[in-house]
Amino acid sequence: MKKPNIISTLLLILISMSIHAQGNFKINPNGEKDLAAVNEYMIAVQSKDPLQIENIHATDVVGYGPRWNSPRTRQQIVDSFNYIWGSLSEFRYERVRMLPVTVLGDEISEYNGNWVMVWSVFVGKEKTTGKEFMLDIHEALKIDKGKVIGKLTYYNELDTMIQTGQYTGD
């Protein structure tokens, strides 16, 4: 399992260097508040509380991922978590790492603002098969006034399907 972590770390460094090279990326010096909001989000996920999930997201939040055709509203984000919670008998986050950053001066105005980059391993047990799976999850959460206003979530859906026996490669 060390190889995916090395690859993820190298990708993070390359992406960070690329953004930094553009001159619009810096560590958020006041990131403690944004980190607290993301911790609240992760507690809401782990406590399976749809009201907490709804409350941590702004009313006009836009979420993407893992598919690009998926701009999601706050209600769709809540519905997605309800589906995940219903599909798994147990789950947890492991090796959580967070980095608060600020993007300024980007030509795409939606990119500007405070973000928290989150890397973790999601460990779940699928209800119907009982199979446990491990999944590297990468999230970029845009935070404003203690709420998630933008969200990009990346993970390998195929890897999950293979680990749970839903896809055999045939």
pLDDT of the chain, 170 residues: tens digit per residue: 445 556 566 555 556 555 544 567 788 888 999 999 999 999 999 999 999 999 999 999 999 887 766 788 999 999 989 998 998 989 998 999 999 999 988 888 888 999 999 999 999 998 888 888 899 999 999 999 999 999 998 888 888 778 877 787 76
The token duo for 20 is 């930094």
Question: Does the CA dihedral 152-157-163-165 come out positive or negative?
Answer: positive
Phi, psi angles (nearest 5°) of residue 142 = -85, 125
pTM listed for this prediction:
0.80
Q: CA 2 → CA 5, 6, 136, 168, distances in Å?
A: 5, 6, 12, 24
Write down all domains in the chain, each with its CATH number in brackets: 27-163 (3.10.450.50)
Spatial distance between the Cα atoms of 72 and 87, rounded to a whole number of angstroms: 20
- Coil, helix or strand at residue 112: coil
